[in-house]
Amino acid sequence: MTAQVVLIVDDDHGYRFPIANLFSDQGFSVLQADNVESMRELSSKAGVWIVDVRLPTEKMEGIEAVRQLWNDQQRPKVFFISVMPEGTAQLQLRILQDKSIPYRWLEKPFELEVLLTEVNDSLARG
């Protein structure tokens, strides 16, 4: 695993595309997944996960996928992206807090620069 690999999980190519370009222009390797199954395959290869909260899987949504796949030893940086504000997912997020999984929440649409800064800052903090 390398911290310079970013995994973007969103079923909407229209969102993945600008985010992927943003990071590849900055020298990151970019992996993309449009569902939980692809995310499961790629998650261990990336140090930064940018995950849409609402994924088209009946039972498993973005937060639940992170809860299952997040590895304590590798400690990937997690960024949730959603058109809904953070307050609407309080119950599910509490499960992450209980497991001490750190995350940041960005409401769509956000400025690409903001996401880049957040990711760089969190990588710098280690």
Partner 1 sequence: MSGPCKDDILFAISNAASFDDLGRAIVDASVRAFDAEVSTIWRRYVDDAGVVRLGLLAASAKAPQTLAQEVTYVIHEEDRDGRNADGVTGYVAQTRREVHVSSFLELKEKYGFCWKGKIDKNQWENNPETYFRSLLVLPLCLGDRLVGVWKLENKKGSTQGFTESDREAMRQLASEIALAVHSFGLLEEREKLLIEMPAKMVAALLGPFDPKRLTTEILKAVADSMQAEICSLWRVDPGEKELRLADGLGFSTEARVQQTYYLAEPTVRDEDIDGITAWVAIRKKPFWANSWEELQAHPSWRGKWDRQMWHDRHKGFRCLYAVPLLRQNSVIGVLKVENRRGAMFFTDSDRALCGILANLIVLLDLGQQIRAALLSDLVHLIRSPIGQVSMNLDGLEREIRKTQKGGTFHVDRAETYLDFIKKALLTINMNSRTLMAFVQKTERMAPPEDRRPVLLRAIVEECCKEIEPLLFSRISIQKHYAVSAQNTQVELDTIDRTSVQIAIDNILYNAVKYSKDGGIVEVLLEEADQQAILTIQDHGSGIAPEDLPRIWEPGFSRRAPGHPQGTGMGLSTVQRILDHLGWKPLVESRLGEGTVFHITIPL
With respect to partner 1, which residue has the nearer C-beta, 75 or 114? 114
Look up residue 8 and give its two tokens.
Answer: 């973007």
What minimum distance in Å lies between the beta carbon of 10 and partner 1? 10
**40 or 64: CB nearest partner 1:** 64
Restricted to residues 58-117, the positions that interact with partner 1 (CB under 8 A) are 83-84, 88, 91-92, 95, 108-112
- Nearer CB in complex with partner 1: 91/124: 91
Q: How many residues bind partner 1 (CB under 8 A)?
A: 24
Among 12, 37, 41, 121, binds partner 1 (CB under 8 A): 12
Which contacts qualify for 37-44: CB closer than 8 Å, 24 or more apart? 38/9, 39/7, 39/9, 39/65, 39/69, 40/65, 40/69, 42/7, 43/7, 43/69, 43/76, 44/1, 44/71, 44/74
CB within 8 A of 60, min separation 6: which ones? 36, 68
Residues in touch with partner 1 (CB under 8 A): 11-15, 17-19, 21-22, 25, 54, 56, 83-84, 88, 91-92, 95, 108-112
